[in-house]
């Protein structure tokens, strides 16, 4: 009886896991199937959505690579996301450390204000940010995105790291400072290795959010050679009422692969950092 109950419990667990995995992977399956269908089958209303009956084709990938600036958009997205991630980490880590380790009036209020800044919708900010970008002469450049993307990555990252650093005993860096280390050296050599899950979470969050962001990229960049991947796919493969569905799905699938690779490599650190940061603040 105990063996049967254990077997039934494992079967239910695996059924739930398979169901959740299927639900999460279904969009990628849909994109893959759509990108491999011919246009004739795509627009055939009698065709089965999840089956390829008229043969596999790579014409949509060829259209994407030969008739659009897909590789340029991919390079721009990677460059903007990478620089934004570096700026986010360099800014949010000292800020979180100051909020959690320094003593000054309004310390708790400042930590809450930093998080509330993240809740401001980008749709309310892109108009004043457009004036700032235009006054600096950065319109239609990648610098416009590199300058504005940290406005939504830094606040949340600082809040998350603050919650994570609160769970690290102060005695660790105090012992290092007693031995002659400066506060900066204690941060880099003692606190930073212990806070590795939180740092990885911030890196993944900043990179992912920058990779898929559209509002600022759509408002500040119009030249095709400086567009990032989401905006390039939307503006170049949707022309009036004509949607190049095969190429759109091929581009969406290709753009999702780097993010999937990052999360698959650092899932353990991401879950640990996100859980600790959210519960300890």
Q: How far apart are CA 140 and CA 236, in angstroms?
A: 17
Q: Which of 13-27, 48-62, 211-225, 266-280 has the lowest mean pLDDT?
A: 266-280
34 CB contacts (<8 Å, ≥6 apart)?
Answer: 42, 245, 246, 249
Q: How confident is the model over 75-129, as pLDDT tens digits?
A: 999 999 999 999 999 999 888 888 888 777 776 777 778 777 778 888 888 888 8
Confidence of residue 277 (pLDDT cuts 50, 70, 90): very low
Predicted TM-score (pTM) of this structure: 0.82
pLDDT score, position 280: 46
Q: Which of 26-40, 175-189, 204-218 has the lowest mean pLDDT?
A: 175-189
Residue 239: helix, strand or coil by DSSP? strand
Chain-centre distance of CA 177, in angstroms? 36
Residue range 69-280 in CATH 3.90.550.10 = no
pLDDT score, position 120: 81
Domain ranges of the chain: 1-57, 69-280
Per the rule left: phi > 0, alpha: psi between -120 and 50, beta: everything else, 41 is alpha
Q: What percent of the chain has pLDDT over 90?
A: 18
Per the CB < 8 A criterion, the answer to whether 198 and 158 are in contact is no
- Read off the pLDDT of each residue in 159-184 and give the average, rounded to a whole number: 81
| pLDDT higher than threshold 50 for residue 279 | no
Q: Which residue has the tokens 């993010």?
A: 259
Residues constituting the chain: 281
Segment holding 243, helix H or strand E: strand 242-243
Give me the sign of the Cα torsion angle 100, 102, 103, 108. Answer: negative
Burial category of 79 from C-beta neighbours within 10 Å (exposed 0-12, middle 13-18, buried 19 and up):
middle
Q: What percent of the chain has pLDDT over 70?
A: 94
Q: How far apart are CA 230 and CA 242, in angstroms?
A: 18
Count CB atoms within 10 A of the CB of residue 97.
22
Confidence of residue 238 (pLDDT cuts 50, 70, 90): confident
pLDDT score, position 86: 94
Per the CB < 8 A criterion, the answer to whether 34 and 246 are in contact is yes
Segment holding 238, helix H or strand E: strand 238-239
pLDDT score, position 83: 95
Q: End-to-end CA distance of the chain: give it in Å, rounded.
A: 45
Confidence of residue 268 (pLDDT cuts 50, 70, 90): low
Mean pLDDT in the chain?
84
| pLDDT higher than threshold 60 for residue 274 | no
Per the CB < 8 A criterion, the answer to whether 77 and 228 are in contact is yes
83 CB contacts (<8 Å, ≥6 apart)?
Answer: 146
């Amino acid at each position: 009886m105990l063996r049967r109950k254990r077997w039934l419990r494992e079967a239910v667990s695996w059924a739930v896991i398979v169901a959740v995995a299927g639900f999460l992977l279904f969009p990628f399956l849909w994109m893959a199937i759509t990108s491999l269908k011919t246009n004739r089958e795509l627009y055939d209303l009698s065709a089965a959505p999840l089956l390829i009956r008229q043969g596999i084709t790579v014409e949509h990938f060829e259209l994407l690579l030969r008739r659009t600036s897909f590789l340029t958009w991919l390079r721009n997205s990677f460059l903007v996301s990478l620089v934004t991630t570096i700026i986010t980490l360099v800014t949010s880590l000292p800020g979180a450390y100051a909020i959690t380790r320094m003593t000054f009036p309004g310390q708790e209020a400042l930590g809450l204000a930093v998080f509330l800044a993240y809740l401001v919708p980008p749709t309310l900010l892109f108009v004043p940010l457009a004036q700032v970008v235009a006054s600096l002469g950065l319109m239609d450049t990648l610098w416009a995105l590199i300058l504005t993307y940290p406005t939504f990555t830094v606040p949340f990252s600082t809040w998350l790291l603050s919650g994570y650093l609160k769970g690290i005993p102060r005695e660790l860096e105090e012992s290092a400072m007693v031995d002659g280390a400066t506060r900066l050296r204690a941060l880099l050599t003692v606190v930073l290795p212990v806070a590795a899950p939180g740092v990885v979470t911030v890196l993944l969050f900043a990179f992912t959010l920058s990779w898929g962001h559209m509002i600022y990229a759509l408002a500040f960049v119009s030249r095709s050679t400086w567009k990032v991947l989401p905006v390039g796919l939307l503006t170049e493969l949707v022309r009036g009422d004509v949607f190049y569905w095969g190429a759109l799905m091929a581009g969406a699938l290709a753009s999702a692969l780097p993010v999937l690779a990052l999360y698959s490599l650092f899932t353990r650190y991401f879950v640990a950092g996100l859980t600790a940061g959210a519960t300890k603040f």
